[in-house]
Amino acid sequence: MIPELGYFSLTLAMVLCVLLFIFPMWGAHTGNLRLMRAAPSLAVGQFIFVLLSFAALIYASLTDDFTVAYVAHHSSSTLPWYYKITSTWGGHEGAILLWLVMQAGWTAAVALMSKSLPWPLRARVLGVLGFLAVGFMLYTLLMSSPFDRLLPYYPVEGRDLNPLLQDPGMIIHPPLLYMGYVGLSVSFAFAIAALLTGQLDNLWAKWSRPWTMAAWGFLTLGITIGSWWAYAELGWGGWWFWDPVENASLMPWLVATALLHSLAVTEKRGIFKSWTVLLAIAAFSLSLLGTFIVRSGIIVSVHAFASDPDRGMFILAFLAIVVGGGLTLYALRAGHVSSEGRYSLFSREVALWLNNILLVVATLIVLLGTLLPMIHKELGLGSISIGEPFFNQMFTYLIVPFALLLGAAPLLRWKQNKLKQVAGKYGLGVIIALVLTAAWLFSSFAKVSAITFMATALALWIMVMSAQDLLQKTAQAQSIKRLGLSYWAMQLGHIGLALVIMSVALTSAYSTERDVRVVPGEQVALGGYDFRFDGVKVIRGPNYTGHAGVVTVFKQGEQETVLHAEKRRYDIGMQFMTEAAVDAGLSRDLYLALGEQLTGGAWSLRIYHKPFVRVMWLGGILIALAGFIVLFDRRYRRRNPKEAQA
Amino acid sequence: MNPRRKKRLLTIIALLFGLSSAVALTLYALQENINLFYTPSELINGKGPELEKPSVGQKLRIGGMVVPGSVKRDENSLFVEFKLIDSGPMVTIRYKGILPDLFREGQGIVAQGTLIESDVIEAFEVLAKHDEEYMPEEVAEAVKGIKHQKPTYNNNGY
């Protein structure tokens, strides 16, 4: 009964969404205020019904209702309760329902927090969001309902959740990523609404900015957690595979990053307007493209968890409507937008413009590398794969100008600068970055390659320039307190990126690994540590059995820690899973994965020593934080309409 | 030329320059890093209408089924050698390292590596997917002639 109520509830939500699309759009078109005023209540109403529907699925999963096909395929009675909850988004149908919950949540949030917007704009933003929700709800109800029953013959036990997904990282990774993907629909809705109303000014940019920042923050956090999950769970010690699914999340992130920089220019200077709108359309389109790639099964990927070509076609059609519609509207309206601001070549405007160009180029590279194998195959030219080196090489080329620019740009003023004013600071920055890099790397590592040196120097250059900028700004503002949260967010985001660059450079250059064959009592040395294999013991979990390899780690004869690297065999489906043991630290991770049992009591064991790998996720979290603290900036908490105008 | 036009011209030149160098670099990097996919019989008999064969030293990906009884492990190291088959001849894969959790005789796998003899590949990566019933799509297509088989619900999931 409950699952049927869930389905019914979703149907009601869709009816409300249809109204949410029609009423405010028509109202805004005819100037009917009463119709426009209906939008916020409709938005909140559909959120409540979607939430009820989601609760029904969670209930079915928690009560082991295996008559529900989705629960039978993605859960089991022995699964711990928290994984029963997360199993509701471990499969395709549930994941799309989660997407709907997020979509409905963002829509309700916009409805409640946009009181200061003029009605025509507010109504249209909500109308566009309503339209998008209708598309996804139609898809869920018609093609991918998680509430379908397996009656009258239903299994007594479920097929269990994919062991790969039985991990804490997986509890939070999809919701965060979806918050980001779907959040970009708000930026998209603002862009479309602005094109419809013709109000493309800095006030519009100011309203759209906090939403974009929030969505971008979630996306950043989602990608960071995803990388950490892949590292901890896939057992290969890698943190980024340039896998199509990862690329699908990276592309909207790159464009959203460009978008929020461009929004800053539009808000502050009233220029780049149509470019900003185009980026907003592109960012959400890439989110949809990502969903298409992941869900259509067109690409073989290590984690394409569910795939079905028919569903892919629906998403492709929806993508075509959204992208095509958005771009057509853009073509019709953007030509009328005029920019009046003037600026010289050596100015902050140009620096941010270059930032945008580099980010867009990076996106195109990822797009090319992701889609080319697909196209190649569909044209009947055979299967190809584009290896990681392609992406690594291209991103290495791009990060150099990007990081140089990133360090230099914050010191530039709007409109116009004289080189004399900043040349001294740049010179000092270069010298400090080079000296620090040389002192650090040559004292810590035996061998320093040119590329490692360069990347580390770039990271330090960003940090040094951020510090210089902070000193200068504090001197001007007289007090640190007067700088405003937006400024701190910028600093935090930039330092976060510097940490990521540094971590990637060092961990790529200095990680060491060994695959060894060990018998109990044998010792292996790696990265200044000694690993003693003490044998294996049998383990038993709630829904798996397996072996744990016990390894004692020594540093210069002193015991450092004892690690248990597990090889699990899940009862249902008999899947094997390597559960790596990680001794985490800021300066290095020790990572152990147990291989297979060999002859003569021996086991294969993979050992990694990964310096500074954790700094990367720390950097990612800092970048995400930047997106969130902006929301608390006084400028965006506009209770007082006068303040909003200021 | 008025300053506005001049600025536009400069912008366009910069854009074109950036774009062309980006395209050149990308094509170069792509050329280096595209790996073609073969099945054992394609490797031996040639692939496509022109029956192109890969040359020794080329990097490639190969997918097929692990021939039962062909897996030979070294006693003292992690070196392993096995044969892959699809519908015709067999190819030998050499690999040193830990095999994935789901590597098994009779299972479909994909290996990435360098061709060192006309029918021997030294792999640096061996992949098997985390699903008992799984066979990599490329292998399924090559072995059974199945193309874009729509997953039934039982098979759905991961």
pLDDT band at A218 (very low <50, low <70, confident <90, very high): very high
- Partners of B151 on chain A (C-beta within 8 Å) are 297, 307-308
Best mutation target among A604, A606, A608 (most B Cβ atoms within 10 Å) is A604
Q: What per-residue confidence (pLDDT) applies to A422?
A: 84
pLDDT in tens, chain B (158 residues): 677 788 788 878 888 887 888 788 888 888 777 878 888 888 888 877 777 778 888 888 888 888 888 888 888 788 899 998 887 888 999 998 888 877 888 878 888 889 998 889 999 888 875 443 445 555 555 555 444 333 343 333 33
- Using one digit for the tens of pLDDT, what is the confidence trace for A228-257? 988 887 777 788 888 888 899 999 999 999
Of B148, B151, B157, the CB nearest to A159: B157
- What DSSP character marks residue B150? P
Let me know how long chain A is: 646
Q: What per-residue confidence (pLDDT) applies to B148?
A: 39
A554 vs B82: CA distance, rounded Å:
36
Tokens coding A249: 């999340």
Of B26, B77, B138, the CB nearest to A517: B77
Q: Looking at the predicted complex, does its ipTM rise above 0.95?
A: no
Phi, psi angles (nearest 5°) of residue B134: -80, 140
Q: How far is B131 from chain A (nearest CA, A)?
A: 7
Over range A318-341, report the average pLDDT: 84
Chain B, nearest residue to A365 by Cα: B26
Chain B, nearest residue to A155 by Cα: B154
Total beta-carbon pairs less than 8 A apart between chain A and chain B: 119
CB contact under 8 A, B35 and A387: yes
Q: Look at residue A613 and tell me whether its pLDDT is greater than 80.
A: yes
CB contact under 8 A, B129 and A302: yes
CB contact under 8 A, A372 and B32: no
- Using one digit for the tens of pLDDT, what is the confidence trace for A543-556? 899 999 999 999 98
In this structure, are residues B100 and B89 in contact, taking their beta carbons and an 8 Å threshold? Answer: no
Of A300, A389, A393, the CB nearest to B136: A300
Closest CA to A195 of A329, A373, A344, A38: A329
Best mutation target among A92, A381, A385 (most B Cβ atoms within 10 Å) is A385
Closest CA to A619 of A492, A449, A520: A492
- Partners of A305 on chain B (C-beta within 8 Å) are 157-158
A130 vs B143: CA distance, rounded Å:
47
A515 vs A147: CA distance, rounded Å:
46
CB contact under 8 A, A606 and B98: yes
Integer-rounded Cα Rg, in Å, for chain A is 26
- Partners of B77 on chain A (C-beta within 8 Å) are 517
Beta strands in A46-200 (DSSP E): none
CB contact under 8 A, B47 and A382: yes
Chain A, nearest residue to B31 by Cα: A390
Of B7, B33, B101, the CB nearest to A387: B33
Best mutation target among A150, A160, A393 (most B Cβ atoms within 10 Å) is A393
Q: What per-residue confidence (pLDDT) applies to B140?
A: 58
Highest mean pLDDT among A346-360, A378-392, B19-33: A346-360
Q: Look at residue A500 and tell me whether its pLDDT is greater than 90.
A: yes
- Partners of B75 on chain A (C-beta within 8 Å) are 599-600
- Partners of B130 on chain A (C-beta within 8 Å) are 162-164, 575, 577
CB atoms within 10 A of CB A530: 16
pLDDT band at A309 (very low <50, low <70, confident <90, very high): low
CB contact under 8 A, B130 and A357: no
- Using one digit for the tens of pLDDT, what is the confidence trace for A564-580? 999 888 887 777 888 88
CB atoms within 10 A of CB A499: 23
Dihedral angle sign, alpha carbons of residues B19, B20, B25, B29: positive
Mean pLDDT, chain A, integer: 88
Best mutation target among A68, A308, A390 (most B Cβ atoms within 10 Å) is A390
Q: What per-residue confidence (pLDDT) applies to B1?
A: 62
- Residue written as token pair 């379908």: A148
Of B26, B78, B136, the CB nearest to A394: B26
Chain B, nearest residue to A310 by Cα: B150
Of B33, B75, B97, the CB nearest to A390: B33
Parse chain A into domains and list their residue ranges: 1-161, 512-615
A467 vs A470: CA distance, rounded Å:
5
The CA-based dihedral angle spanning residues A582, A584, A588, A591, taken in that order and rounded to the nearest 10 degrees: 0
In this structure, are residues A351 and A409 in contact, taking their beta carbons and an 8 Å threshold? Answer: yes
- Using one digit for the tens of pLDDT, what is the confidence trace for A53-103? 999 999 999 999 999 999 998 888 888 999 999 999 888 888 889 999 999
List residues of chain B with CB under 8 Å from any CB of chain A. Answer: 7, 10, 15, 18, 22, 25-26, 29-30, 32-37, 47-48, 61, 73, 75-78, 96-99, 101-102, 127, 129-132, 136-138, 148, 150-151, 153, 156-158
Q: Look at residue A305 and tell me whether its pLDDT is greater than 90.
A: no
**Mapping DSSP to helix (H, G, I), strand (E, B) and coil, where does residue A449 land?**
coil
Best mutation target among B47, B101, B133 (most A Cβ atoms within 10 Å) is B101
The CA-based dihedral angle spanning residues B54, B60, B65, B66, taken in that order and rounded to the nearest 10 degrees: 100
In this structure, are residues A43 and A20 in contact, taking their beta carbons and an 8 Å threshold? Answer: yes
A151 vs B109: CA distance, rounded Å:
37
Burial class (CB in 10 A: 0-12, 13-18, 19+), A572: middle
A193 vs A210: CA distance, rounded Å:
16
Of B25, B102, B151, the CB nearest to A576: B102
**Mapping DSSP to helix (H, G, I), strand (E, B) and coil, where does residue B37 land?**
strand
Of A357, A517, A578, the CB nearest to B101: A578
pLDDT band at A47 (very low <50, low <70, confident <90, very high): very high
CB contact under 8 A, B151 and A305: no
